Amino acid sequence: MNPDPPLRFEAVPNFSEGRSPETLAALAEAAGDLLLDLHHDAAHHRAVLTLAGRGGQLAVASRALLRTAMERIDLRRHRGEHPRVGALDVLPVVPLGTASLEDAARLARRIGAELAATGDLPVFLYGHASPTREALPRIRRGGPAGLARRVARGEMTPDYGPGRLHPTAGAVVVGARDFLIAFNVNLEGGGLRVARRIAARIRNRPDDPRPSLRAIGVRLAAPGEVQVSMNLLDFRRTSVKEAFDRVEAEARRRGAGVRSSEIVGLIPAAATWPGMERDLGLAGPPRTVESALAAGQGRCAPLYPALVRAAT
């Protein structure tokens, strides 16, 4: 009898860096042949990498990515729109193929422990990796300063590592979850106050036991341009089209409109449909996890140094 094939997972580390081509290229190099995608944004000052591989491979790559982030990112000088508590801010693990969510949780806990030892920094677990199913927004509330205060007061205790934030790298939040779609809608008119009001209107309540949509309003790099930035935690309960339509309707009610939208990173094929880019005002067809895996992981990794230089 043939043994079962090794389990595979996706890891989606988020970094507090979206502007330095050299740092983006270094992160891509640290990810190596596991890299499927790299998305970066100057206004959010954030980069999202998508990796796929076996558990051991992802653990090794995660340590290399943390070392690179700690060498190149200093949170004391970081200014960006996206919430964060760390240089390597959050690292979710997602099951692929026959792997289960519990398999992903075990791997997330392994990675969390190894990152704490590698960087001598605190690691907090969230989602299915956390014994209490801790929510990511609660950990990141108030940014590094807010988290540091709660740790000092004993209101929050790291799952791994020291009971204080690293002076330049902060903390890392590691979790396990199903596929999440990061989806942003750029508004035409209205300003930041309107974007924030729309986000508050469409997102799930904080006490919702099964949230499927989180949203915030943020500024973009160009003066006057704003965005409703969303996380679709369960695209089967709240689809990309439903999220877009809700933003568009709320914007219209407030005398604003929708200029365009974007999907951050890769998206499951089940969440797409023919003509998606036309319906949502995307710059082009979204890249799917399945197509990236079929194309062969690692092929894109050597291209990223050139790509990030060309994008800036």
CATH of the domain at 80: 3.30.990.10
pLDDT of residue 240: 96
CB 99: neighbour CB atoms within 10 A? 20
Residue 306 has what DSSP assignment?
H
Q: Is pLDDT at 312 greater than 70 in this prediction?
A: no
Name the pLDDT band for 305 (thresholds 50, 70, 90).
very low
Residues 208 and 169 in one domain: no
Q: Identify whether residues 23 and 97 lie together within a single domain.
A: yes
Q: Are residues 30 and 141 in the same domain?
A: yes
> Residue 300 pLDDT > 80, yes or no?
no
Q: Is the domain of 214 the same as that of 75?
A: no
Q: How does DSSP classify residue 179?
A: -
Q: Does 151 fall in a domain?
A: yes
More confident residue, 241 or 221: 241
285 occurs within a structural domain? no
Say if 281 falls within a structural domain.
no
Give the whole-angstrom CA distance, residue 258 versus residue 244: 9
Q: What pTM, to 2 d.p., does this model score?
A: 0.90
* Tokens linked to 85: 């508590």
On whether residue 3 sits in a domain, the answer given is no
Whether residue 191 is found in the same domain as residue 124: no
Q: In this structure, are 156 and 239 located in the same domain?
A: no
Identify whether 271 is part of a domain.
no
List Cα–Cα distances, 149 to 12, 27, 143, 157, 192, in angstroms: 27, 30, 10, 11, 28
The residue range of the domain holding 120 is 8-177+300-310
> Rounded distance, CA 232 to CA 263, Å?
11
**Across residues 46-72, what is the average pLDDT?**
97
CA 19 – CA 101 distance, rounded (Å): 33
pLDDT class of 3 with cuts at 50, 70, 90: low
Is residue 272 situated within a structural domain? no
pLDDT the model gives residue 296: 65
Residue 307 has pLDDT above 90, yes or no: no
pLDDT band of 5, cuts 50, 70, 90: low
Instruction: Tell me whether residue 142 is in a domain.
Output: yes
For residue 82, pLDDT over 90 is answered with no
Q: Domain check: are 28 and 114 in the same one?
A: yes
Smallest CA-to-CA distance from 40 within 50, 30, 31 is with 50
Contacts of 255 (CB under 8 A, 6+ apart): 189, 190
Residue 301 has pLDDT above 70, yes or no: no
The mean pLDDT value for 291-307 works out to 60
**36 and 91 both lie in a single domain:** yes
Start-to-end CA distance of the chain, whole Å, equals 53
**Above 50 in pLDDT, residue 31?**
yes
The answer to whether residues 151 and 186 belong to one domain is no
Within a 10 A sphere around the Cβ of 219, how many other Cβ atoms?
Answer: 16
Q: What pLDDT shows up at residue 4?
A: 55
User: Number of folded domains in the chain?
Assistant: 2
Residue 311 has pLDDT above 50, yes or no: no
Of 88, 211, 109, 229, nearest to 160 (Cα)? 109
Taking only the tens place, the pLDDT of each residue in 14-29 is: 999 988 999 999 999 9
| Residue 47 confidence (pLDDT) | 95
Q: Among residues 200, 195, 176, which one has the least CA distance to residue 43?
A: 195
Same structural domain, 218 and 205: yes
Note whether 207 and 113 are same-domain residues. no
Q: What is the CATH number of the domain that holds 225?
A: 3.30.70.670
Residues 151 and 224 occupy one common structural domain: no
Residue 76 included in any domain: yes
pLDDT of residue 211: 85
Distance between CA atoms of residues 243 and 245, nearest Å: 6
For residue 177, what pLDDT band results from cuts at 50, 70 and 90?
very high
| Residues marked as catalytic | 82
Mean pLDDT of 148-161: 96
What is the structure's pLDDT at 205? 81
- pLDDT score of 297: 53
* Position 88 confidence tier, pLDDT thresholds 50, 70, 90: very high
